[in-house]
Amino acid sequence: MTVGARKHENSGRFSSLCFPDGKKNCFYCCPPIRDPEADSLDQLAEKIRIFRLNRRNLPGNRQNAGEIRGDSCWGLGFLDAEEKLIGCLLHPHQNQGVDLRHATGYRSKCAGTLCQEAVVFSRLNPVRQQFYLALSEGMDSFHYSSRRANPLMKILPWGAPVLEAIFFFEQGRPLARMDFISRYGFFWNELNYRLDAWLAGEIIKRYGLKVIIANPRKFLDFRRRLLSRLQQKINKKADNPPILPVHQLSIPLEFSRLLKFGLNLWEASAVKVGKLQEVILQEVERFT
């Protein structure tokens, strides 16, 4: 949900990941039909040029309004003369309450996009939010938005159990960006949140974060061996209705990702998933 500014300003002590502090903001999900691999730091010089032009030429662009492309939108530009904030020039908060986003043909997509990082961040309490926001201290909006450069955006998809464990391990004292990367960069450099977030959370619950920090390779080997054994056992025909997409079952999102991306199990009954979870948790008990 690329910002139009005021909507995302801090309310009370809670912060918004999209617009955390008035000095920078995120525009990563804009346009919503973008290439998912594209990064906010790609073609940086060209982006700066275009964001300036879009701000300057907005009235003319509106008159010649055309549909947007996946790699750009004529409504996306610098929101302020200092060029600190980047967002939607067509957003109601930029236009005395009038929503002009329909001119691009994608108003509902623009208004409805909310990334998983923003959802996870919104569920943290203000103290945790400030702890994690410290990682992006001093960044401009391009680097803040970047999923390549911003460690905050890399750690959030790991979800609450891992985020809580790191917070407590550091006794709530914010870390400098480089210290955080050198201590916790293995989460995104060596592990994969889609496969590992739920397992890591369960292991941390039992043995603490230290066992993973001390030996990420051991965790990785454990997950690989576990998934390869389970893959051989899973018999899709043995399932009984009702069979649902696993993300619709009452299980944590992180566990549904492990089923999908680790075991290629996209649909299953609650009973089958419950049994599988039991088997995995028995293995977790033997982790050390």
Give me 244's structure tokens. Answer: 């649902």
- Distance between CA 104 and CA 161 in Å, rounded? 39
Residue 120 found at the interface with ligand SF4 (CB under 6 A): no
Residue 175 found at the interface with ligand SF4 (CB under 6 A): no
The number of residues that bind ligand SF4 (CB under 6 A) is 24
Task: Give me the least distance between CB of 175 and ligand SF4, in Å please.
Answer: 21
Task: Give me the least distance between CB of 228 and ligand SF4, in Å please.
Answer: 34
Which one, 75 or 151, has the nearer CB to ligand SF4?
A: 75
**What residues from 78 to 107 belong to the interface with ligand SF4 (CB under 6 A)?**
88, 90, 101, 104, 106
Residue 265 found at the interface with ligand SF4 (CB under 6 A): no
Residue 151 found at the interface with ligand SF4 (CB under 6 A): no
Residue 114 found at the interface with ligand SF4 (CB under 6 A): yes
Stretch that binds ligand SF4, among 72-80, 227-235, 241-249, 276-284 (CB under 6 A): 72-80
Residue 68 found at the interface with ligand SF4 (CB under 6 A): yes
Give me 194's structure tokens. Answer: 């889609």
Which one, 27 or 219, has the nearer CB to ligand SF4?
A: 27
DSSP the chain: ----SGGGS-BTTB--SSSSSSS----TT-STTS-TT--TTTTHHHHHHHHHHHHHTHHHHHHT----BTTB-TTEEESSTTS--EEETTSGGGTTT---GGGGT-HHHHHH---HHHHHHHTS-HHHHHHHHGGGTT--HHHHH-TTT-HHHHHGGG-HHHHHHHHHHTTTPPPPHHHHHHHHTHHHHT--HHHHHHHHHHHHHHH-THHHHH-HHHHHHHHHHHHHHHHHH--GGG--S--EEGGGSSS-HHHHHIIIIIH---EE-HHHHHHHHHHHHHHHHT--
Residue 156 found at the interface with ligand SF4 (CB under 6 A): no
Stretch that binds ligand SF4, among 111-119, 157-165, 172-180, 226-234 (CB under 6 A): 111-119
Task: Give me the least distance between CB of 74 and ligand SF4, in Å please.
Answer: 7
- Distance between CA 274 and CA 279 in Å, rounded? 9
**What residues from 21 to 40 belong to the interface with ligand SF4 (CB under 6 A)?**
26-31
Which one, 17 or 212, has the nearer CB to ligand SF4?
A: 17
**What residues from 180 to 239 belong to the interface with ligand SF4 (CB under 6 A)?**
none
Residues that bind ligand SF4 (CB under 6 A): 1-2, 17-18, 26-31, 68, 73, 75-76, 88, 90, 101, 104, 106, 110, 114-115, 117-118
